[in-house]
């Protein structure tokens, strides 16, 4: 059993390391292009592996911090990825049952995370739980309003999910490795820097600066959905 958890630990570190450096590559290249899709796929699966292995590691070492961070990062990565399949919600389509179930379960988990953070005085848990509640609540409300989505809403969600997952991964690295930064700032500084970055990217979408690429993004995401 100890061999399993040792391998799990190294797999988690490797996946986290890959995601840490791949995310900036996906942001730097042309959006919707082959390189963006490639690095986005690598980042997504790296976050899935890092998230799942963090859950196993958290159980082994009884770490609520690792458990909550892993859940948040994993959920946000899936949220960002699934947005590629939900463009039809701006065209009268309905959200699949799997997305309803995922958002509903996520809401319950993040409610519990927030309650735990408030009860224990754990600021990071309360902050990430609150962000999770906000995300899942908006998802569920959006699913109810299917057909009235703005055409670029899926892109907003894609950006928010992947960047939030990256923020959580950097937060976990900082909290466990950058021990010279006092708690809770070692956990929260990526959020303080990353959330404005999310708003900036979303503002670019709203102002139409990505409009020239939006049709190509839709085509490419549809091709991705077909090939997956």
Cα–Cα distance measured from residue 158 to residue 78, given in angstroms and rounded to the nearest whole number: 9
Neighbouring C-beta atoms of residue 11, cutoff 10 Å: 16
pLDDT at position 62: 73
DSSP assignment letter at 182: P
Q: Which of 53, 72, 166 is nearest to 126 (CA)?
A: 72
DSSP assignment letter at 88: G
Residues 69 and 128: beta-carbon distance below 8 Å: yes
Rounded to two decimals, the pTM is 0.81
Residue 47 lies in a domain: no
Neighbouring C-beta atoms of residue 86, cutoff 10 Å: 23
Place of tokens 């809770």: 184
Residues 113 and 71: beta-carbon distance below 8 Å: yes
- Is the pLDDT at 228 greater than 70? The verdict is no
- Is the pLDDT at 202 greater than 70? The verdict is yes
Q: Which of 22-31, 127-136, 211-220 has the highest mean pLDDT?
A: 127-136
Q: Give 50-87 pLDDT, tens digit per residue.
A: 989 988 887 777 777 778 888 888 999 999 999 988 88
Sorted by sequence, the CB contacts under 8 Å of residue 202 that are 6+ apart come out as: 156, 159, 160
Residue 30 lies in a domain: no
Structural domain that includes position 141: 64-227
pLDDT at position 219: 52
The mean pLDDT of the chain is: 84
- Is the pLDDT at 30 greater than 50? The verdict is yes
- Is the pLDDT at 31 greater than 90? The verdict is no
Which burial class, exposed, middle or buried, applies to 60 when counting CB atoms under 10 A from its CB (0-12, 13-18, 19+)?
A: middle
Residue 57 lies in a domain: no
Helix axes 64-82, 34-61, angle to 10 degrees: 150
- Is the pLDDT at 25 greater than 80? The verdict is yes
- Is the pLDDT at 131 greater than 80? The verdict is yes
Q: How confident is the model at residue 212 (pLDDT cuts 50, 70, 90)?
A: very low
pLDDT at position 133: 95
DSSP assignment letter at 62: T
Cα–Cα distance measured from residue 83 to residue 156, given in angstroms and rounded to the nearest whole number: 9
pLDDT at position 208: 65
Cα–Cα distance measured from residue 74 to residue 110, given in angstroms and rounded to the nearest whole number: 13
Q: How confident is the model at residue 217 (pLDDT cuts 50, 70, 90)?
A: low
Average pLDDT of 79-103? 89
Structure token digits, residue 56: 């196993």
Q: How many domains does the chain have?
A: 1
Q: Which of 106, 92, 90, 91 is nearest to 138 (CA)?
A: 106
Q: How confident is the model at residue 45 (pLDDT cuts 50, 70, 90)?
A: very high
Cα–Cα distance measured from residue 53 to residue 74, given in angstroms and rounded to the nearest whole number: 10
pLDDT at position 213: 52
pLDDT at position 75: 93
- Is the pLDDT at 91 greater than 90? The verdict is no
Give the range among 19-28, 140-149, 171-180, 215-224 with minimum mean pLDDT.
215-224
């Amino acid at each position: 059993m100890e061999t399993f958890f040792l391998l799990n630990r190294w797999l988690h570190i490797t996946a986290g390391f890959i995601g840490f450096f791949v995310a900036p590559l996906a942001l730097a290249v042309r959006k919707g292009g082959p390189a963006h899709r490639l690095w986005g796929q690598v980042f997504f699966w790296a976050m899935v592996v890092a998230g799942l292995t963090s859950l196993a590691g958290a159980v082994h070492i009884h770490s609520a911090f690792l458990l909550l961070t892993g859940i948040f990062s994993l959920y946000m990565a899936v949220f960002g990825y699934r947005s590629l399949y939900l463009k039809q919600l701006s065209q009268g389509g309905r959200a699949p049952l799997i997305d309803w179930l995922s958002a509903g379960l996520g809401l319950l988990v993040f409610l519990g995370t927030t309650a735990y953070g408030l009860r224990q005085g754990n600021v990071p848990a309360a902050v990430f739980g609150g962000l999770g509640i906000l995300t899942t609540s908006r998802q569920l409300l959006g699913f109810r309003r299917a057909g009235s989505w703005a055409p670029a809403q899926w892109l907003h969600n894609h950006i928010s999910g992947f960047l939030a997952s990256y923020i959580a991964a950097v937060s976990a690295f900082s909290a466990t490795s950058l021990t010279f930064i006092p708690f809770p700032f070692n956990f929260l500084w990526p959020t303080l820097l990353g959330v404005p970055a999310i708003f900036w990217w979303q503002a670019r979408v709203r102002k139409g600066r990505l409009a020239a690429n939006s049709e190509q993004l839709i085509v490419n995401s549809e091709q991705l959905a077909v090939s997956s």
